[in-house]
Structure 1
């Protein structure tokens, strides 16, 4: 359900068979709330004017993730020659729920499994096996009542400006932090700043450089500003068969299935204009990617690169994080990180932009296009 008014939204079906006055009927449905609890109630009314009720239940709070029976038993006290229509009503703005096994039968309440074999269900297609029909969903939507944080911030700023007071839209504060939440956790890569080289062999500790080319070399170099280190890899000439590669890699990098990570580093290149350089974390058992391959195009000047990736499976060892290229040229890499972060599709990115609740019928945005 989207933004609703007091009328709410109804999942309903019209029953053409009129009820018998004086008899007892029961309506029941299995419901489950999604994302957050919702309030629902059962209603049965005349299928035509004046739409008077045969039954109107009380609001019931349905918990999240748990199938809950919602049922009502009532006695018909007046004729409904037009037939009747029964529905599940929801009045929560943004409420989400699932419904299944809807039943309307003569008699008192029994569990749905027993009713399925012993009672005649007046509803057609009670579990949606045949699609949606003859069920319908009738929400009462008023889009002008939706208040976005952007509109509210703009209107407040405009009012303050008319009073001679400056204002900074708080919406901008939401974009101060990149997707995935706040500060990154500890990187899972070791010696990511390339600062340690205990044996002074030109390759940072915990890292390996693989050169496969006619002429190639590598070196650990201090950055021009003296603030850190970079690893240079150079392919001066390919092999006679026209092939070659240079790779910076680290083994046994852990990953957890479903966890999001931010891979970030600084890089520059010479002689590789427009070449896309791949980054990957792979299993050394079957050489399948643990995170999706990413690619970047380094330029002659130092640039920062960042990728949000999600691990496909869990691995504590027998993995390899690798950055490599296969053309003649040079690549410099520095400050390499792979840190777990919050999921980019959760948190402020969903909740921060739409902080709205129905408050009034009017919205100046609708009239003045603010």
Structure 2
């Protein structure tokens, strides 16, 4: 069974697609980079996450305030493991996944000038739990303790009960996700002599919070899937399932790694008639990602979740995670299935009997 997931996860692309432009999210230079750039009213900083620039601004601020803790080797902050979050939001924006579903054309593209984020977007809803919750978690962990104002998040037009809008509300609506993100931000602030080289621990805690956020968001956001085409709806579900497999490897989501592999995600919304791996205007890599995610989800569902449990068991040692990451990363260097990595993962599955 694990051999099957190794085959599926090994997205061994044959094409040589490269990162377009400088790799930064759309409008990166024009988004807020500190709390003073947001509206301040009644001793509160008002952040509107239904505007792309403001939601992206929360990520830019998180990168800025964690630079001294999460990018200890380079001055440009590109080794910060939080880069995966804004880069994913940028991909969702540029591919139309944050736009009003009814405003989308039949081509799956969007108007790039529209910065409004729709509260009917499934992707926007799930991302809320990966943007607002981490941001408020950092606030709760004391990262803005010197700032004299509280944070208030603007409400959407619809589905208000699916979201929370300040630290107190979010602890009530999503206590597990808030606690995990707060714990992550508290942990990275520990004195360096206590941490030494704790990148692995940082990644473990970040991915744990990431998975908890998605898990909390899925039932609340599910109704929005009705606004998407069937292929797009299936892709979203497959994507959410696939994240858990990636998370188990403690994949480093810094600027370079995220950009390297994110370019194989679909460059537009899926529409009726799209059937991977046979979508004409998708690259071989994009088609392979879609079909591979489909297989992962189907296999895991068919086995009642046993596939994910076995994968996590193989990944519970550092050696196993190295093998798992190499298996994932081999997509850019090998056309053939890297059997040596598969055997390494299988060996760790047998060895990790205590997991």
Q: TM-score, normalised by structure 2?
A: 0.22
* Greater strand content: 1
Normalised by the size of structure 1, how large is the TM-score?
0.22
